[in-house]
Amino acid sequence: MSDQTPRPEDPGAGDPYGGREGNRAGTGPGAGQPWDQVHSAPYGTPPAPPAYGPPGYATPDYGYQARPKSGLAVTALVLGIVAVVFALIPVIGMLSLILGLLALVFGIVALVQRQKKSLAVSGMVLGVLGILIAGAVTAFLTYFVVRTMGDHTVRYRVTTSAPATVTYFNGSQTVDRQVSGNWEEEFRYTGLPIGAVTVSVPDGHASCEVVLDGQRISSNAGNGRVECISAGPGDQGRR
C-alpha cells in the first residue's frame, strides 16, 4: 500500500525569493526584494567611520607647507653688496648712490611683505654703507680735483755764473729763454700743479728753484745742466 500523503513542495523551488513569501507579498520593509538582500544585515548597515577622526580633533596635515618668498630680500642683499664694492672705485663709485638706494627700497618692501628678515636687513645695511662710502669717496675726489685743477701760481728762480739757456713750463707749453746772472719769473695758470725748469750752462755753475703756490717744492744746483721739477723737494739732477 502506497503512501498517498502528499509531500510539501520545496518552498524555494522556482521561487527567486527563496520561498519567503512575506517579502514577495510586499508587506515588509524589504517588499519585492530577495530575502537574502533584505535580511543579510538584520540591524541595518552600520554607519561608516568618520573620515576626519573623532569630533573635536583637528586632522593632521602631513603635506609640505609652502616656503615664504624671499625674492625681494635676495635682490636687496645683492644690490647692497654691489653698492659696497662699487663705492670703493673712484668715479664708478657714484653708481653706488643709486644701487644703495635701490637696496634700501627693496629691503623695506621685503620687510613689509614679510619675506626673509635677515636677508632684507642685511641688504638695507649694505645699501646704506655703500651710499656713505660712495659719498665720502666722491667728496674726497671732488676736493682733490678742485684743489689740483684750480688756479696756481708758479715762480722760477735761476742763478748762473755764465750765459745759459733756461727751459721752463708756463702751465700750457714749454718756453726757452737765454739768461745770464739772476733770473726770476712768476705766472698764474689753471690746471695741474706742475712746475719744471731746466738750466743749461756749459761753462759755468747754475742753481734753480721752483715755488708753487707760495711753497718751495724743488731746488737744485750744479755745473753744466741743472733741473728743478715739482715731482718732489730736494736736489734733483745734480751734476
- Render pLDDT for 79-132 as a digit per residue (tens, 0 to 9): 889 999 988 887 788 888 888 899 888 888 888 888 888 888 888 999 999 999
The confidence score (pLDDT) of residue 156 equals 93
Q: List, by residue range, all CATH 2.60.40 domains of the chain.
A: 151-229
Instruction: Report how far apart, in Å, the C-alpha atoms of 102 and of each of 119, 130, 180 are.
Output: 14, 11, 66
Instruction: Please count the other Cβ atoms lying within 10 Å of the Cβ belonging to residue 22.
Output: 14
* Residue range 151-229, CATH number: 2.60.40
Q: Which cell goes with 112?
A: 613689509
* pLDDT for 235 beyond 60: no
The confidence score (pLDDT) of residue 142 equals 81
Q: Which cell goes with 198?
A: 731746466
Using one digit for the tens of pLDDT, what is the confidence trace for 48-91? 555 555 555 555 554 545 556 778 888 888 988 999 998 888 77
* pLDDT for 166 beyond 90: yes
Alpha-carbon distance of 184 to 191, in angstroms, equals 22
The confidence score (pLDDT) of residue 43 equals 52
Of 233 and 209, the structure prediction assigns the larger pLDDT to 209
* pLDDT for 203 beyond 90: no
User: What is the average per-residue pLDDT within 9-18?
Assistant: 50
